[in-house]
Structure 1
Amino acid sequence: MAVESVKNSCMQLTRVFADDEALINKKLPKELHLRIFSYLDVVSLCRCAQVSKVWNVLALDGSNWQRIDLFDFQTDVEGPIIENISRRCVGFLRQLSLRGCQSIADGSIKTLAQMCPNIEDLNLNDCKKLTDTTCLALSRHCPKLQKLNLDSCATITDFSLKFLSEGCPLLTHINISWCSNITEDGVEALARGCPKLKSFISKGCKQITSRAVICLARYCENLEVVNLLGCNNIRDEAVQTLAERCSQLHYLCVSGCLHLTDTSLIALAHHCLKLSTLEVAGCCQFTDTAFQALSKNCRYLEKMDLDECVLITDTTLTNLAMGCPRLEYLTLSHCELITDEGIRHLCLSPCAAENLTVLELDNCPLITDASLEYLTSCSNLQRVELYDCQLLTRVGIRRLRTHLPNITVHAYFAPITPPPAPGGNRQRYCRCCAIL
C-alpha cells in the first residue's frame, strides 16, 4: 500500500508541473518564473526544460543563461552545443566557462563572439584546439570583455595579444599560462592597449623577459596580481619597476626566477605595502636581509612560499614573527639552515597563536622534536609537512597530535635496512625490497 501511495503521489506531482494548464503555470507570472529559474544551474535548467512546453520556453529563456559553467560536461561538449547556447543567450550572456572542453575549435568561438557581444568573462582553459583566430573574433565582436583565461592554449601567439589590445580595452584579467609561443612583443602590445589590467598570469612562459614586465608596469599601474612562475629570464630591474609603479600589488609569484636577488624584495618592501601573498620558491639568492626589509613594511603578508630559499636562517623567522602578524601559510621546505630556534621564535609570535594554519618544513634536516613541542602552541594549525626531516621521531609527532587532535601531519620515515645475512658478504634485502 505504501509503495502504491508513493507512486500515486509522484504521478499527481508530475501532472501538476507537466500540464501546461496547471495551476502553477497559470497563477505565477512569467517574470516570477524567470526569477526562480535564474537561481538554477545548467543541469537543473535542462531538466526543467523537459517538464512541459511552458517550462521549456521559460527554462531556455536567454535571461537564465547569463552565467554558464560547462566544466561538468567537458567530455561531451562539442562545437554545435556552444553554437546553440550562443544563439539562445545572445546579448544576455555575461560569463562562460569552457574549461577543459578540448573539442571546441575556433569556429564555435567565432559564432559565440558574434552572437554574444556583451560577454565579460570567458574561460578557455585547456581548449587546446583554439588558435589566434579565436582572439581575433573576440577583438572584433566583444568590446566589453574583461576577463579572459587562455591557460594551456598552446598554439596562441603574440598575434592574439595584439588583437586583444586593439579590440578589448576594458580587459582587467588575463591568464596566458603555458602559452609558450608568447614573447615580450605580445605582452608589450597588450600592456599598451589594455591599461586597466589588474591581473596578469603567465606561468611557464619562458620567452617573457624583463622588458615585458617593465612594459606592464609602465602602462598598467593598477596591477594587483602578477604570476611569473617559471619565467626564468626575469631580472631585478623588472621587479623593481613593478614595485615602484604598481603600489596596489597584493599577489606576486616569481617562483623559479633564479636570477633575482635581494634587490627585488627590498624594492617590494619599500613600495608594495599591501602585499599579502609572496611566492619565491627556488629563488636561491635571497637572504635574511631581504626578508628583514619585507617584515618591517609588509604587515599584511598572509602567505609566503620560501621553498628552496637555501640561504635564509632563523633570522628570517624571527623577523617574520615580529613583523607579519597575519601570516597563515608558510613554506620553508628545503631551507636547510632553519633550526629549532627559528621555529621557537615563530611559535611565540602573534601570527602563530592566532592565524598560522599551514607550515611546510620538508627537508629541513636540523629540525628536531623540540620544534614539534613548540608547534603545540599554534592552536589554529591545521596542517604541517615534515617529509625527510631525519631528526624527527614518531614519538614527537604523536605528542603533537595529542595537543592538536585535528591537525594533519604528513611525514615519512625510511624503513630500517635489515642487517646482513650471516654467512655471506651480500645483503639478503636492500632498502627497496623492504619498501616493497
Structure 2
Amino acid sequence: MSSPSSNSVLDAHTPLSFPQSPTIIPQPYNEQAPKLKGRQRLLAGLQRVSSSGSLTRSRTRAYSANGKGSISCISLHSTQSLNTPSLGSALTNELSVGYSTAPTSAATTPGVQIPVFDESARLRYLSKLNGKTSAGVPSELRSPTTRTGTTPGIAEVDEDYFSISIPTRPKKSKDFNFWRDLPAELKMEVLTYLQPREIVRLSSISHSWHTMCFDGQLWSSLDTTDFYQDIPADALVKIITSAGPFVRDLNLRGCVQLSERWHTKNLSDACTNLENISLEGCRIDRTSIHNFIYANSNLVSLNLSGLALATNSAMKIIAGNCPKLEVLNVSWCNHVDTRGIRKIIECCANLRDLRAGETRGWEDEEVMLLLHERNTLERLVLMNCDSLTDESLGVLMEGKDGEVDYLTGRPVVEARMLKLLDLTRCRGISDEGLKTLVGNVTVMEGLQLSKVRGVTDSTLTDLLPTMPLLTHLDLEELDELGNAVLQCLAAAPCASRLRHLSISYCELMGDSGMLPVLKTCTALRSLEMDNTRISDLVLTEAAAMLRGRAPRTILQDRADFIPTVGLRLVAYDCQNVTWTGVREVLSRNAEVFVTTHATELPALERKKSVSKRGLMGISGSGFSSTENVATTVSPGRVGTPRIHIMRSSSFPSEIIQLKCFYTFQPTVEEHTKRVLRGDFSAARRLERKWAEFMIAQEEAGAQGAGSRRRRRRAREARMMHADEEGGEGTGVAGVGGSGIVGGGRRRRARSGGCAMM
C-alpha cells in the first residue's frame, strides 16, 4: 500500500449516532525528516506557527439524527521533526470527549490504511461555529461558490475562527427632539411669524424659551397698536430693555401703563437705534422725552401727538440732534408753537411731513415765508389752527414781494410741492385766502376744507380744474356751496381719479349735482351725502355705477362666492331718500344670475345594457334618466351623443355698504352681513320679506293716523305755496270740514310743527 501524501486529509465516517463526532486520524510519516539547521530551521518554525501555508481542506459527511451538519476535519501538517515533544498531554481532555480513535471505516474502505492517531497534531472543536464559516483556510483555497447537491444540514466553513463577529445588543435609538436640535437662527425665523402677544405667552414655558422670546432679533419692530391695552407693564418693560439696541420702529401709542416706569427701568435710554417712534397718548414726562431724542440721533419719524409736556425745548433738541427728520407730528401739543417749529424747519432740510394741528403762532408770516422758500413739504396739517389767517396762507402759497404777472395780477411763483393740505376748522380762513391756491397746487391729491366759513362756488370752480391729481375732497358743512361745484367736479380732469368725496351737511346740493358726479367719477370708494337733498335716484345711479365698474365673477357649477366692499355710501337724514331707494341698493348687492347651456359629450360604448336602477343612480350625478336611456345601447354598438347641462353663476364682485335712515339700518346691516359671507339666497329672502313688510305698512297707513298725517302735510304744503304766491284764496280741506285762506281775510296762526315731520 502506497504511503499517502503528507498534505492529504482523510475523510472519516462513523456509524455511530449523533452526537458522536467524526474521528480524525493523522497519517504517520514513513521516513524521518532530516534535521534542519540555521536559516532553514527558522523558516520551518515560522511555517509551523502560521498554519495557513500547509492547510488543506476536505469535506466529510456524517449521518445526523437531528439534521445538523457535521464538522469539517482539518489536518495540521508542519515541517517539524518527530523529535519535537508531543502535545497530546495538554489536549487529552479535549480529544477524549470530541473524537474517537476506533478504526470504524477499516472494514468498509478497501485498500485504504487507517493510520494511528498522532497526539502531536492539535485538533480544534468546530461544532459551535456557524456552518457558513471556514476556519484557518486561506482565501485562495476556498471554494468561490457553495457546492450544490450536498446533504442538507452539512455546511461549509468560510471564515477564520478568530474573525467571528460577536453579536452585540442593538443600540437604543437616540432621543429625537426637533426643536432642541434646530439651529438658533431657524428658531428665530420661526418665531418671527408669531404675533407679539403670542411670543410673550411662549416666554413662560421655560427659562430657555424666556431667553429666546426676549431676544432682540425678534423685536426689530415693536408695534403695540393691537395689544397695548392687554399687555402688562412688566412684560412691555422687559421687551424694551432686552431688545433696545435692536429696535428700529417703536410704537407705544396709548401705553399709559408705563407712566411710573420711565425712570425706574431706564426705558428712555434702552433704545439707541430708533428710526421711527410714536409716543402718542403716553403719560411721559419731559425728561424722558428729551432722553429719547438725545439717545436716537437717526430719527426719521417722530410722533409726539397729544403729549402735554412736549414743549419748545424738545423742538430745539430735535433741531440740533436729528438732522435726518422727515416726519414730525406735534398736533394737540399745547405748549408747542411756531417758535419751536421754526427751528426744526431751519435745521431739518429733509422735512416733508408736518402735522401741527391746534398749535399757535401761525399768523407769523416769517415762518410761512420760510416754508415757501424751502418748498419741501408734501403734507401740511393745520386743523383747528385759529391763528392761521388769509394773509399768512397767501405768503405760504405766493411768497412775499415777488414778481407779479400784469395780465392776471398774481405773483409768478413756482408751484408748491404740497400733496395734502388740511385746513379743517381754521376759522381765520375765508374765501379770499383759498383763492391763493388757484394754480399753485398742481400736484395736490388731498384737500380738506371742512367747516371753513365763507367758501363760495366761484372759488372752488376756479380751483378744481387746476388740480388734476385730486383723489380726496372734503367739503363738509360748507352750507353756501351748491350743485355748481359738483357739476364742475364732474367735468374736472380729476374726475377719473377721485376716490373720496364728502358733502355732508351741504344742504343746497341735490340730484342735479350728484348724478353727473356718479356718472363720471367711477373710481369712488367713499361717498358721504348725509343731510343733503339727494333722493332715491342717487342711490339707484350709485348701484348702476358700481355694476358697470366692477366686472361680475362667473363660476361654473359653483354657488359660493364672497364679494368685497367696493363703495361706502352714507345717506342718512336725507328727507328724499325712501325705502325704495334703499331696496335698489340691496337688490343690486344680492344680484346673482344663473345661466344654463347644453354641452354635447361623446357617446359611450357599453358592453351590456344598463338596468333601470343603474340609470337612476347615474341620473343623480347630474344627468336625467331620459338622457341615460338614450346612451344605453346593445353590446358592441355606440350610443347616441350625451347632453350635459352646464350651469354658470354670475356674482357681483363688489357691493355697496350703505348707511341710511336709522329705522332701515338694522335690515341693511343684516343684509350686508349675509352677502359678505356668500349667502345670497338668504339675503334675497330678507330683501323680499322686508319689501313685503314696508308695502303692508304703507297700505295699513292709508287709513287712520297715517292718512291724517299725510293730509296735514298736504295742507301745510298748500298753505306755504299760497303764502309764496300771494294770490287769491284757495280752498283747503281740513279735518272736520273746509276753510278758505285767501286775500282780504286774516290767515290762521300756524305753529310750524316738527321740522322732521
The whole-number CA distance in structure 1 between the counterparts of 2:370 and 2:300 is 17
The whole-number CA distance in structure 1 between the counterparts of 2:348 and 2:176 is 53
Could you tell me whether the CA contact under 8 Å between 2:386 and 2:426 is conserved in 1? yes
Deviation at 1:144, TM superposition (A): 0.8
Residue equivalent to 1:22: 177
The whole-number CA distance in structure 1 between the counterparts of 2:384 and 2:367 is 14
Deviation at 1:319, TM superposition (A): 1.6
Residue equivalent to 2:317: 163
Could you tell me whether the CA contact under 8 Å between 1:217 and 1:241 is conserved in 2? no
Deviation at 1:94, TM superposition (A): 0.6
Deviation at 1:177, TM superposition (A): 1.9
Could you tell me whether the CA contact under 8 Å between 2:220 and 2:247 is conserved in 1? yes
Deviation at 1:145, TM superposition (A): 1.3
Q: For the structure 1 residues 372 and 62, does the alpha-carbon distance in structure 2 shift closer, same or farther, using more than 3 Å as the test?
A: closer
Residue equivalent to 2:352: 198
> Aligned runs of 1:265-414 on 2, under 5 Å?
265-323=434-492, 324=494, 325-349=496-520, 351=521, 354-364=522-532, 366-379=533-546, 382-405=567-590, 406-412=655-661
The whole-number CA distance in structure 2 between the counterparts of 1:216 and 1:42 is 43
Deviation at 1:111, TM superposition (A): 2.7
The whole-number CA distance in structure 1 between the counterparts of 2:335 and 2:205 is 49
Residue equivalent to 1:125: 280
Deviation at 1:391, TM superposition (A): 2.7
The whole-number CA distance in structure 2 between the counterparts of 1:219 and 1:145 is 24
Residue equivalent to 1:16: none
Could you tell me whether the CA contact under 8 Å between 2:280 and 2:307 is conserved in 1? yes
The whole-number CA distance in structure 1 between the counterparts of 2:237 and 2:663 is 56
**Count of paired positions:** 402
AA matched with 1:270: G
Deviation at 1:361, TM superposition (A): 1.5
Q: For the structure 1 residues 271 and 312, does the alpha-carbon distance in structure 2 shift closer, same or farther, using more than 3 Å as the test?
A: same
In terms of mean alpha carbon deviation, does 276-285 or 56-65 score higher?
A: 56-65
The whole-number CA distance in structure 1 between the counterparts of 2:523 and 2:426 is 29
Residue equivalent to 1:427: none
Aligned counterpart for 1:46 among listed residues 200, 204, 216: 200
Could you tell me whether the CA contact under 8 Å between 2:369 and 2:396 is conserved in 1? no
Deviation at 1:208, TM superposition (A): 4.6
Q: Any idea what the Cα deviations from partners look like across 1:396-435, whole Å, max 9, x if unmatched? A: 3323433455323323379999979x9xxxxxxx98xx99
Could you tell me whether the CA contact under 8 Å between 2:244 and 2:271 is conserved in 1? yes
The whole-number CA distance in structure 1 between the counterparts of 2:573 and 2:365 is 40
AA matched with 1:290: T
Deviation at 1:173, TM superposition (A): 1.3
Could you tell me whether the CA contact under 8 Å between 1:101 and 1:126 is conserved in 2? yes
- Point out 4+ residue stretches in structure 1 off by more than 6 angstroms: 413-420
Do residues 35 (structure 1) and 284 (structure 2) align? no
Q: Any idea what the Cα deviations from partners look like across 1:132-165, whole Å, max 9, x if unmatched? A: 3233212321101111222221232222222221
Q: Which structure shows the bigger proportion of residues in helix conformation?
A: 1
- By relative contact order (CA 8 Å, sep 6+), the higher-ranking structure is 1
Q: For the structure 1 residues 225 and 21, does the alpha-carbon distance in structure 2 shift closer, same or farther, using more than 3 Å as the test?
A: farther
Deviation at 1:79, TM superposition (A): 6.1
Residue equivalent to 2:422: 253
In terms of mean alpha carbon deviation, does 111-120 or 73-82 score higher?
A: 73-82
AA matched with 1:368: S
Percent identity among equivalent residues? 26
Gaps of 5+ in 1: 1-19, 423-429
Deviation at 1:342, TM superposition (A): 0.8
Could you tell me whether the CA contact under 8 Å between 1:338 and 1:367 is conserved in 2? yes
The whole-number CA distance in structure 2 between the counterparts of 1:212 and 1:181 is 20
The whole-number CA distance in structure 2 between the counterparts of 1:48 and 1:274 is 49
Deviation at 1:170, TM superposition (A): 1.5
1:151 is paired with a residue whose SS is coil
The whole-number CA distance in structure 2 between the counterparts of 1:82 and 1:414 is 45
How large is the Cα RMSD of the aligned pairs? 3.4
Residue equivalent to 1:111: 266
Q: For the structure 1 residues 171 and 216, does the alpha-carbon distance in structure 2 shift closer, same or farther, using more than 3 Å as the test?
A: farther
AA matched with 1:367: I
Q: For the structure 1 residues 399 and 71, does the alpha-carbon distance in structure 2 shift closer, same or farther, using more than 3 Å as the test?
A: closer
The whole-number CA distance in structure 2 between the counterparts of 1:295 and 1:176 is 30
Deviation at 1:388, TM superposition (A): 2.5
Deviation at 1:335, TM superposition (A): 1.5
Aligned counterpart for 1:187 among listed residues 341, 354, 359: 341
